């Protein structure tokens, strides 16, 4: 467990996803990091000197300030932060229902699709970010 970290991550799903998008853009500009949606926050000399991060990992790296040389995943955090990071992992694949469930939101209470088209980051970083922006707009339109 990563100490007594205070949960400063947004509670509103659209704001959490917007924060992750901002952190993703910061990571893309930082040569010490490489985006790889298959790992949370990992550095290994076998692959390269960069720290590999997924969407949730970008939040760990930039907002939660995990040291570049540390391995980290959502289960290193208390429940509130862990569930927000796991929600981001679901958002990145377009699984709205699962993401919102992790955030304590019942999708049945909103007029939302269960899944959202989210192309893999590895196929096109720009298409992936556009899909995230569209998800943010959709969530905002429902007050989430």
Q: Which of 138, 118, 40 is nearest to 86 (CA)?
A: 40
What pTM did the predictor assign? 0.90
Q: What share of the chain is helix, strand, coil (3-state, %, to 5)?
A: 50, 10, 40
pLDDT digits (tens, 9 = 90+) for 65-82: 887 788 888 888 889 999
Sign of CA pseudo-dihedral 125, 56, 99, 84: negative
Which pair of tokens denotes residue 110?
């909103």
Task: Domain ranges for the chain, please list them.
Answer: 13-141
Provide the 3-class DSSP secondary structure of residue 113: coil
pLDDT digits (tens, 9 = 90+) for 27-66: 999 988 888 878 777 776 666 667 788 899 899 889 988 8
Provide the 3-class DSSP secondary structure of residue 44: strand
pLDDT digits (tens, 9 = 90+) for 1-28: 555 666 689 999 999 999 999 999 999 9
């Amino acid at each position: 467990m990563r100490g007594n970290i205070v949960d400063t991550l947004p509670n509103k799903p659209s704001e959490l996803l917007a924060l992750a998008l901002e952190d993703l853009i910061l990571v893309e500009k930082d040569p010490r990091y490489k985006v790889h949606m298959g790992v949370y926050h990992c550095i290994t000399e076998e692959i390269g000197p960069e720290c590999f991060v997924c969407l949730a990992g970008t939040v760990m790296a930039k907002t939660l300030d995990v040291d570049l040389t540390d391995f980290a995943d959502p289960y290193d955090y208390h429940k509130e932060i862990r569930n927000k990071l796991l929600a981001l992992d679901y958002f990145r694949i377009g699984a709205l229902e699962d993401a919102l469930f992790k955030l304590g939101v019942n999708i049945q209470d909103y007029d939302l699709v269960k899944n959202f088209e989210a192309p893999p980051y590895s196929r096109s970083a720009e298409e992936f970010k556009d899909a995230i922006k569209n998800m943010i707009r959709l969530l905002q339109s429902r007050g989430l």
